[in-house]
Structure 1
């Protein structure tokens, strides 16, 4: 099972989360590419830290929305979205290669992640960007998302993730962040959720139903209180259950 976290989400002098602490726990780092958060200096430093920790680098691409942290839907034309994603992939990959590694998977962020669940035109646009950049690059997202179905048809390697601290509906979709109870805060509850997903492939929805889910990666958020401790507890619990933690795209690549 892979453990991923969103990293490099500061901007300028502003920082968010304990990236160093999380890099000691996770196997994959979704690094902000400058559109919803991050800047060239942060991107490069985070890639260096990930490479030093042996953690795989993933491109956390999003809408061009720094002010809204990428959490607002943007009705961008498909051709423009393809170019935006290509720009983000290229920028992060340059930083990663300079740091001795490279981008090894793609995971959309925030509102783009949610839109790609159902928005066919934007789904095709993101798939087109990844195919143009590197058709061997795995893509990571929510089971059932339209863009992953399109990615699979297009020949991209597809990986599925679940969220350690998010509530699910009976249809297997995420509860809207604005709804009460959408985010879990109990460390014990989060650990139990992750064990259920990793060992049994299921999650209990807010309506009480048990939803079956294929999961290759668990996302542990780094911007909540006690995030590093919770992530460590999740990793320890997985190890205790005999579940090995490894990067979703295999061993993190090194550039000679």
Structure 2
């Protein structure tokens, strides 16, 4: 049986401003990439998301970012190495403390937004993020874009890596994500998304934007929690995977506590 992880970006509200439906997404995903305060998330809201993840038995990852709340972490930054390493350590440490208070643990790290895109190909910033993870907790796994140079770079530095694909994004024939500035870059049809990701989980391939087939070796699938219709997409995707004989399972332990009761 094929096995795959389903993840989403959560904990991204701020005070009175909600972002996405964390409760609904946590009933569907197996891993949660939780904001660490640099691009989104306030301490109380982050803690609530972590508590809900712990109750659901969902694995938790640190969704580290450039320091860019105004731009939601989507503005590229040329950050000095010393600053970027320290920023990563700081964010992981903060989330680890909140996770302990919530009765769970941080199992992995997934960079967010512009940082995620930059380090997929920028070796210098990629090494800085890797160094930050290893300084904070070398047992953590890095979640990275499938097929990117970062995957081999991190593994070469002794870091465990899980490659991910994006359910709601189009791909180029070379296996890269189509830029959000291009037409058709973001997919909104739950049925189409589910069909594409079921094929990915079973065969390791999906249809590129030009209609050709591209191989994408991924162990996790991401559904953006802040996208319009995110819950509907995640629900359709989970149903298609389960009905298609694909088991959904977190690649990292959810906590050191006994497993949670099965979800309804």
TM-score strictly above 0.5: yes
- CA offset at residue 67 of structure 1? 0.4
Deviations 1:188-228 (A, max 9, x none): 11011111110110111112221111110000122223221
**Structure 2 matches for 1:47-66, cutoff 5 A?**
47-66=50-69
**Structure 2 matches for 1:98-177, cutoff 5 A?**
98-177=101-180
Q: CA RMSD in A?
A: 1.2
Deviations 1:143-188 (A, max 9, x none): 2323322210111111010000100111111111121111001111
* TM-score in terms of structure 2 length: 0.94
Which residue of 2 is the match for residue 254 of structure 1? 256
Say if 2:147 and 2:217, in contact at 8 Å, map to a contact too. Answer: no
* TM-score in terms of structure 1 length: 0.97
SS of equivalent to 1:95: helix
Counterpart pick for 1:37 among 36, 40, 43: 40
- Structure 1 stretch displaced more, 136-145 or 122-131: 136-145
4+ long deviations beyond 2 Å: 144-148
In the comparison of the two structures, how many residue pairs are matched?
A: 255
Say if 2:31 and 2:250, in contact at 8 Å, map to a contact too. Answer: yes
Segments of structure 2 that go 5 or more residues without pairing to the other structure are 259-264
Say if 1:123 and 1:146, in contact at 8 Å, map to a contact too. Answer: no
Segments of structure 1 that go 5 or more residues without pairing to the other structure are none
Verify: 1:240 aligned to 2:243, yes or no: yes
